Amino acid sequence: MIVVDGVVGVGKSTLMNILVEQGYVPFREPVDDNPILDKFYYDRKRYSFPLQVFFLNKRFKQIKEASKIHNSILDRSIYGDVIFAKMLCDNGEMEKEEFNLYRELLENMLEHLEAPKLMIYLEASVDEAIRRIQKRGRDYEQIVERDYWQHLNNEYSEYFKHYNKSPILKINVDNLDFENNMEDREKVLSLISEKLKECSK
């Protein structure tokens, strides 16, 4: 089981689709069937806790299923999701009691999960992430202020600096276009392959 994580717009789904072509079985991020996400971006304080619980529940179910399948890959996961909950709490958009309840629920769930074989963390600067978000063009992402993306990027960097649940591969994608540039794609695939061999020793 491989997990691909990173800030919004960094290329997680693109990399997962490339790895699916290599034979991996995909477990995609539950965005399209999420009835709360759009509402959240317009009223964070009202919808932050139900949104995080929605993701937590979906990701728990996903990773349980993925752990039973050989060569599964997840687009984001239950591990990095706490970043969003913490940030919402820090911003006063989630009550501390709600965050404590969320964290307790998460810790209970993690006790019942098999850790991924590899965590791939895609790093990007804020400017690059925003450029990719604008290019993607999801309406509810376009209204988000730069400070939010900056804060999110900082929280991601901090979280993955201390991540220790499984082996991790960090790839900075600021100057990589592994979607359209075959040389960049081969470079990324080679990094992943080498890290997986290292994990298997």
pLDDT at residue 146 above 80?
no
Q: What local confidence, expressed as pLDDT, does residue 183 receive?
A: 95
For 65, the token pair is 């299923």
Q: Which residues are annotated as a binding site for ATP?
A: 6-14, 132-136, 176-178
User: Looking up tokens 């299923």, which residue turns up?
Assistant: 65
Pairing of strands 168-172, 25-27: unpaired
Binding-site annotation: residue ranges for substrate: 29, 41, 52, 76, 81, 141
Nearest alpha carbon to residue 52 among 84, 29, 77, 80:
84
Predicted confidence (pLDDT) per residue in 5-19, tens digit: 998 778 888 999 999
Q: What are the structural domains of the chain? A: 2-200 (3.40.50.300)
pLDDT digits (tens, 9 = 90+) for 74-126: 988 899 889 989 989 998 999 999 999 999 999 999 999 988 999 999 998 88
Q: Where are the beta strands (DSSP E) in the chain?
A: 2-6, 25-27, 72-75, 118-123, 168-172
* Backbone φ and ψ of 7, nearest 5°: -65, 165
Instruction: Calculate the average pLDDT of the chain.
Output: 88
The verdict on whether 139 is a catalytic residue reads no
Question: Residue 200: pLDDT band by 50, 70, 90 thresholds?
Answer: confident
In sequence order, the 6+-apart residues with CB closer than 8 A to the CB of 170 are: 121, 123, 160
Per cent of the chain over pLDDT 90 is: 57
d(CA 98, CA 89): 8
Tell me the two tokens of residue 83: 């970043």
Q: Please, which residues bridge with residue 159 across strands?
A: none
pLDDT score, position 53: 94
Binding residues: 6-14, 29, 41, 52, 76, 81, 132-136, 141, 176-178
CB 123 within 8 A of CB 171: yes
| pLDDT attached to residue 30 | 61
pLDDT of residue 3 exceeding 90, the answer is: yes
75, 90, 147, 184: the catalytic one is: 75
Of 161, 64, 39, 173, nearest to 116 (Cα)?
64
pTM of the model: 0.85
Q: Residues 25-35: pLDDT tens digits?
A: 998 876 667 88
